[in-house]
Amino acid sequence: MRAKWATMLAGIAVLATAETAPPSLESKLARIAAEAGGVIGVAVQHLESNQSAGVRASDRFPMASVYKFPIAVTVLDAAAGGRLRLDSLVHVAASDLRTGASPIAERHPAGEIDLRVEELLAGMLVESDNTATDVLLRLVGGPAAVTAHVRRLGCSALRVDRTEVEILFDASGVRERPPPCTWTRSRLQAVASAVPKAERQRAAAAFRADRRDSTTPSDLVLLLGVVANGGALDAANCKRLFEWMESTTTGPNRLRGELPRGTPVAHKTGTIGTVVNDAGIITLPGDRGRVAIAVFTMNVPGGTPAAERAIARLGRAAYDHWMR
């Protein structure tokens, strides 16, 4: 345990001494963000040189499903510490099924199935499964446990406050919430759909301004770097985590969008309304190292496709800078 904490603190110390990248990168990032419009925050760090750059990197943004990355880190830490077994079976009841992205719910519409913790982790990271997320949050002690864990890793801005179903209610403007025992997928969809359009729009604006389940681009890059540099997980669990993130099926047009085919990108996307995000590690070819990057966007004119183009361009700008 003492050795683990020494490694963790060393990883944090390295990231805390990040150097500023040459102005050319920062100005290019700023130009791409300005051309896209809306509100865009980006932080990038080359993990081997510790050079970094950003635009609105200290501003707070809603994470959306990017928050599944710190949840996964917390779950894997619990597994490494013997508090949870990755091969243990967890019962998923009908009331555990969630709306939005959930292949688990689509494959098992009646619920009442048993899944291994490892299967839930893979579903959450590869397919951004909301059902898996809420089950895993319950297993590690809820959102507060995740926030407490990332605080120990040095992340002072990142916070996880709600389950997926609570975020659904808040972002959709659902005020009268049905009892948890009635939370079937169809029931949740019906309750959210019944909210009048004007109320949904007010709720969506409030969600974008909410400090809950938010972070800064720089804090998310800090967490990515601490994990990638071995300061948060043992080697086996770190490898497992990034393999799942490299297999992510969501957001192929985001960080991956303009990179050379075959470039390894271990990332986690997030989307709720006009919030369109992506964050991860880009591995450069040869011995050029790794780039941690977090891009958070809101209200980009042109919607999700335009936001994704901006994310792809920002990722390519970082890639090109450290490939020179």
pLDDT digits over 200-246, tens only? 999 999 999 999 999 999 999 999 999 999 999 999 999 999 999 99
Full-model pTM: 0.93
Euclidean distance between CA atoms 205 and 202, whole angstroms:
5
Q: Domain of 20: which CATH number?
A: 3.40.710.10
Euclidean distance between CA atoms 218 and 224, whole angstroms:
10
Residue 20 has pLDDT above 80, yes or no: no
Euclidean distance between CA atoms 164 and 144, whole angstroms:
14
pLDDT value for 313: 98
- Residue 20 to residues 42, 44, 49, 98, 293, Cα–Cα distance (Å): 14, 10, 10, 42, 15
Q: How confident is the model at residue 324 (pLDDT cuts 50, 70, 90)?
A: confident
Residue 277 has pLDDT above 80, yes or no: yes
Place of tokens 């996964």: 72
pLDDT value for 118: 98
Q: What is the mean pLDDT of residues 306-322?
A: 98
Q: What percent of the chain has pLDDT over 90?
A: 92
In sequence order, which ranges of 21-142 are alpha helices (DSSP H)? Answer: 23-36, 68-80, 103-107, 117-126, 130-140
Residue 155 domain boundaries: 2-323
pLDDT value for 8: 42
Residues forming a β-bridge with 268:
279
Q: What percent of the chain has pLDDT over 70?
A: 93
Q: Tell me how many domains the chain contains.
A: 1
Residue 302 has pLDDT above 80, yes or no: yes
pLDDT digits over 121-164, tens only? 999 999 999 999 999 999 999 999 999 999 999 999 999 999 99
